[in-house]
Amino acid sequence: MRFELTTDQQDFAASLDALLAAADTVTAARSWAEGDHAAGLRLWERLAEQGLTMLATEASPVEVCVAFEALGRHAVPGPWVESAAYLPIALGAEVEGVATVAMPRALDADVADAVYAVVDGTLHAATAGTAHTSVDRTRHVFDVTPGEAVGHGDLDAAYDLAVLATAAQLLGAGERVLADAVTYVKQRKQFGREIGSYQAIKHKLADVRIALDFARPLVHGAALVTGSTGERARAVSAAKVACADAAYLASRTGLQVHGAIGYTQEFDLSVWITKIRALVTAWGTPGDHRARILQTLRSA
């Protein structure tokens, strides 16, 4: 089966890219990392006006993937997976403002209007506690104290959509790192030649291109699954594993071809490299999802 986005979905993706490209998301991400949320919250409001917070309940998982790939490609900060993928399904309604949920820690609970936690399969309101650092400086994670239980929807479906959204974010981030790496190797010269002309570098970048191209159909395929809960779980976990592996390969290759400058925090590449490293283990590690795939195959 060949999958292609519809004209409306392509237009939606193009409009998001245009909005985010003009929004200076790197500056917003750097400010967010320092605790200044103003620019990030203004961007949040603009994206909410575009309907991103309504996609989980009002659109299909395909549109969710389109949106989150754009968020990953532009390194948009904030608890988007929690607010726009997990909680709308978990609560059965669109989330007002910024919200987050502990899985097991809560992302950006310091800026959230509402904080939740899942305890023994039940959704609870929660309060933020101790803050912890992440390899991605834009991700501020907090311990939480659960409070009163709240009515909720299908938490399994909510989790699967959050995993799929995270996979799409990884795909977008990997695409951005590859694009930046290709641009750089066409400009950087060594021994009188562009370093992109060397076969070793071409092969490394080609490997990334192949990995991302193989991961994308798994994301789209998981978004289209309408079968049993086990089939959906297997599809989204496979997408998460493939996107995590592809994006991590992109980050390692991007760092290698940039050389020493790639290690510097001041260089924009670091924003995506650290985000990829954090997202690889967010909403389940690759090991967790490989075990989940095996479990669903055994019970099929």
- Residue 246 sits in a domain whose CATH number is 1.20.140.10
Residue type for position 9: Q
Please say whether the beta carbons of 64 and 161 come within 8 A. Answer: yes
171-181 burial, b at 16+ Cβ within 10 Å, e below that, comes to bbbbbbbbebb
In a domain, 269, yes or no: yes
Residues 60, 165: Cα–Cα separation, whole Å: 12
Task: Note whether residue 101 is domain-resident.
Answer: no
**Does 183 fall in a domain?**
yes
Residue 284, φ and ψ in degrees, nearest 5:
105, 130
CA distance 220 to 230: 17
Tokens (6 digits) for 153: 């929807």
Q: Residue 108 phi/psi, 5° resolution?
A: 55, 40
pLDDT for 1: 57
pLDDT score of 188: 78
In a domain, 285, yes or no: yes
Number of domains observed in the structure of the chain: 1
Print the domain residue range for 176.
Answer: 155-299
Residue 271 belongs to a domain:
yes
The pairing of strands 141-149 and 189-190 is unpaired
Q: Which stretches in the chain have pLDDT values below 70? A: 1-2, 300
Q: Does some domain include residue 134?
A: no
Q: In whole angstroms, what is the distance from residue 195 CA to residue 269 CA?
A: 18
**Inside any domain, residue 1:** no
Residue 99 has a pLDDT of 97
Residue count of the chain: 300
Instruction: Say how far apart CA 74 and CA 296 lie, in whole Å.
Output: 34
Whole-angstrom Cα distance, residue 220 to residue 283?
A: 19
Quote the pLDDT of residue 157: 95
**Type of residue at 251:** S
pLDDT of residue 259: 85
**Model pLDDT, residue 244:** 98
Asked, for residue 214, whether it belongs to a domain, the answer is yes
Give me the helices (H) in the chain, please: 7-21, 25-33, 38-49, 55-58, 61-73, 80-81, 87-91, 155-187, 199-223, 229-258, 269-281, 286-299
The pTM for the full model equals 0.95
